Amino acid sequence: MTAKIIDGKKIAEGIKEKLKFQIEGLTIKPCLAVILVGNNPASNVYVNMKEIECTKLGIILKKYCLKENLLEEKLLNLIKALNNDVHVHGILVQLPLPSHIDEFNIIEAIEPKKDVDGFHAINMGCLFIGTPKFEPCTPKAIIEMINSTNITIEGKHAVIVGRSKIVGNPVAQLLLQHNTTVTICHSKTHDLKEYTKQADILVVAVGIPHLIKEDMIKEGAIVIDVGVNRIEDITYKKGYYLCGDVDFEKVINKASYISPVPGGVGPVTIAMLMSNTLKAYHLIENGKAI
Ligand code: GUN
C-alpha cells in the first residue's frame, strides 16, 4: 500500500480562502499582536510566516521584537497594554521564551478573549470540560487534517506520542471528544512500538527525527507527523533541511494516509491561527464574554 498524502498546504488554502472572504466584508480589520522575545531562529521563521499569511488575509499584524534579556515585568506590562488596547483583537507570545521568563505567568496575563493560542488556563479548562472557546491551533489543525481523509474516526484507536501542553495533551482531549479511544505515550513509555502498532490514527509530536519506523505502524493507519526537526546540512541552500518525527519514505508504504514535513501540519496550524484571530475579533468587537 502507498499512503495518500494529507496535503497541508492545500487544506490551509481552502480555509484561508473562506476567512479572506469573511474579512473582506469587515469595515474594521482584525488585528493580531505577536510578541517575539530573543533570537530563536525557528521562532523567527514561524513569526515571519504568520506575518505573511496575515497580510494576505487582511489581518493587521503588530509585531513586537524584544531583546533576549528583557525583564519579565516589561513583558507583563506590554501584555497589559495590549489587553487594554481596543484596536488589538488577538495576542500571541511566541514560545519558547528565554529561561529567565516564567511562561505560565506570561500566558496567564493574556486576556482570555484575546488568547488566540488557547493556552490560557481558562481556555485550556474550557477545552478539557468539553466546551472549547479557543482551541489551540496545532491540535485544531490535526483534527482538520484527519477529517480531510473522510474516514470515520469514532470508535477508532488514536495513539499520541508526546504529552506537551500545546500539542499532545490538548489533541488527546479533542480526539476523545470525537469519540476515539485515546492512548498517550511519552518519553518514559516502555516499549513504544507496542502502542504505536495498535494505532488506527497515530499523532507524533516529540521532536525526534525519524523516531517512528515502518515496523511501528499498523497497516492502513492514518499518520500525522507534527515534528519539525532542523537538520544542519551545508549542502542545502539554507544550511539545513526540515524533517519530521516519522520516517516518511518508509512509513508511506504502510499507512493509508500520511502528512509530510514540511507542507503538513505547519500550514494548517497557521490557517487555524487566522481562524482564531477572526473569532477573537468577533468576541472583542461584539463585547461577548468567554
Ligand atoms: N511555538 C511553537 N508552537 C507555538 C504555538 O502554537 N504558539 C506559540 N505561541 N508559540 C509556539
pLDDT at 290: 74
Give distance in angstroms: CA of 136 to centre of ligand 1.
9
Which ranges of the chain have pLDDT less than 70? none
At 16 the three-state DSSP class reads: helix
43 Cα nearest atom in ligand 1: 1
H/E stretch holding 36: strand 31-37
Residues within a 6 A CB radius of ligand 1: 92-95, 117, 137-138, 166
Under 8 Å CB-to-CB from 212, ≥6 apart: which residues?
161, 196, 202, 204, 223, 225, 245, 246, 247, 251
Residues forming a β-bridge with 32: 61, 90
**Contact between residue 181 and residue 166 where contact means Cβ atoms under 8 Å apart:** no
pLDDT at 289: 75
DSSP label of 70: -
Residues forming a β-bridge with 5: 258
pLDDT at 188: 96
Phi, psi of 91 (to 5 degrees): -130, 130
pLDDT at 287: 85
The answer, as to whether pTM is greater than 0.95, is yes
For residue 130, what is its C-alpha cell?
A: 468539553
The model's pLDDT over 217-230, given as tens digits with 9 standing for 90+, comes to 999 999 999 999 99
Computed on alpha carbons and rounded to an integer, the radius of gyration of the chain in Å comes to 19
* Cα atoms found within 13 Å of the Cα of residue 206, Cβ hemisphere only: 21
Spell out the domains of the chain, with CATH numbers in brackets: 22-113 (3.40.50.10860), 136-265 (3.40.50.720)
What separation, in Å, do the N-terminal and C-terminal C-alpha atoms of the chain show?
46
Q: How far apart are CA 158 and CA 180, in angstroms?
A: 6
Q: How far apart are CA 102 and CA 96, in angstroms?
A: 10
| Pocket probe mutation, ligand 1, options 95, 103, 268, 274, max atoms within 8 Å of Cβ | 95
pLDDT at 288: 78
- Tell me which residues are annotated as active site: 50, 94, 117
